[in-house]
Amino acid sequence: MLNLLRNLDRRLIFLIMGLAVAIPVLMRFEPPSEVTMMDQNVFDAVQDLPDGSRVLLSFDFDPGSQGELLPMAMSFTRHLAEKKHKIYFMCLWPLGEPFIEDAMKLLQEEYPHLKYGTDYVSFGYKPGGEAVIKNIIVDWKQLFITDSRKQDLKEIPMTMKLKSAKSMDLLISISAGDPGTKQWIQYAATPAKLPMVSGCTGVQAPLFYPYIPDPLSGLLAAIKGAAGYEKIMSEHYPDLKTPAFVKSRFSSTAAQQRMGPQFVAHLLMVALILLGNVIFFIDRSQGNA
């Protein structure tokens, strides 16, 4: 038995992991989501702004991270729409732009009273990373002459009088790496003293803890943070619990649904580590390790 475990075929581990993820997905297993203080801080940063505030929402991720970050991107979009904030979409990653289009589609479908140009606008992708941030913090129109639809910024109500990113009331960066939250902190939130919150992947979260609480007032870490945010959202806006939102293309409970497979996969990982160590200690006691 011990020999079998010692030489466990890795394909068997792959199969078990596959089942650990697939079964909760198929059975729609959804453990309760815990709301942390950090999730609440992020929610409060958006909620406490007066209705109609200007919020810059940057989608700094690509399809590789959409499993972790897209649910929170959609939650932020919904929250900003519920609060009637003016949303300025942009991205520092070339493949972030389709997600902006998705978010705008969500606004068209779920909040049809909000109009492009007066309630939300997209600047799309601009190459340059931190250079883009440094430029828009001084003079927005030096870098952006048009929006992502090639409309002159002077003709769009939301951007007519926009001078720089300093006029934003809140920055939100959803980040999967560089350029992302770190650059927004270094080149916008800190020098211009702008309030900022962020959502990021699990591996990035520890890197941003040193920036909390100043200049980062809150951080949604990976799918767990997104699930907590969704839970707070549904408590404040009960409509989000209705089938129309839950079963929509971008479900209002997408992150909470993904906590099931993560729960089982984490338990499996712990079990595998324990098993590996039991074998190691038995081997060592027998003088084999």
Partner 1 sequence: MIAKRTIPLFIAALVGVLMIATYFVPYTEKWGADAMEMFIILAAAAMVLGAGNLLLLNLSKISNRQPGWGYAGITLTAFFVTLIIGLFKIGAMPTSSAATNAWTAPVVQEGSPFWWIYKYGLVPLTATMFAMLAFYIASAAFRAFRAKNVEATLLLGTAFIVLLGQVYAGVWLTDFLPTLESYVAGFPAASQEFVLAVGMQVKAGVPLTDVVVGGVAYANMVGEHHALAIETNNYIGGWWYQLLNGLRLENLTQVILDVPQKAGNRAIMIGIALGIVSTSLKVILGVDRSYLGSAD
Helices 97-110 and 66-82: crossing angle in degrees, nearest 10, is: 40
**Distance (Å) of CA 107 to CA 93, 144, 269, 270:** 22, 23, 39, 41
Q: Rounded CA gap, 195 and 33, in Å?
A: 27
Which of the ranges 50-58, 71-79, 106-114, 141-149 carries the binding residues for partner 1, by CB under 8 A? 141-149
Which residue lies nearer to partner 1 by CB, 149 or 236?
149
Which residue lies nearer to partner 1 by CB, 2 or 207?
207
Q: Does 236 bind partner 1 (CB under 8 A)?
A: no
Which of the ranges 51-59, 231-239, 247-255, 267-275 carries the binding residues for partner 1, by CB under 8 A? 267-275
Quick one: which of 210, 238, 243, 287 contacts partner 1 (CB under 8 A)?
Answer: 210
Helices 10-26 and 254-285: crossing angle in degrees, nearest 10, is: 150
Q: What amino acid is encoded at 162 in this protein?
A: L
Count of all residues that appear for the chain in the document: 289
CB 76 within 8 A of CB 220: no
Q: Rounded CA gap, 109 and 221, in Å?
A: 28
Q: Does 60 bind partner 1 (CB under 8 A)?
A: no
- Which class for 30: exposed (0-12), middle (13-18), buried (19 or more C-beta within 10 A)? middle
Write out the two tokens for 158. 């939301």
Q: Which of residues 158-187 bind partner 1 (CB under 8 A)?
A: none
> Pattern of binders to partner 1 over 15-54, x per CB under 8 A?
-xxx--x---------xxxx-x------------------
Write out the two tokens for 205. 């979260």
Which residue lies nearer to partner 1 by CB, 52 or 276?
276
Number of residues that bind partner 1 (CB under 8 A): 67
Interacting residue ranges for partner 1, rule: CB under 8 A: 8, 10, 13-14, 16-18, 21, 31-34, 36, 62-67, 95, 97-98, 101, 105, 124-129, 131-132, 134-135, 138-139, 142-143, 148-151, 191, 202, 205-207, 209-210, 222, 224, 259, 262-263, 265-270, 272-273, 275-277, 280-281
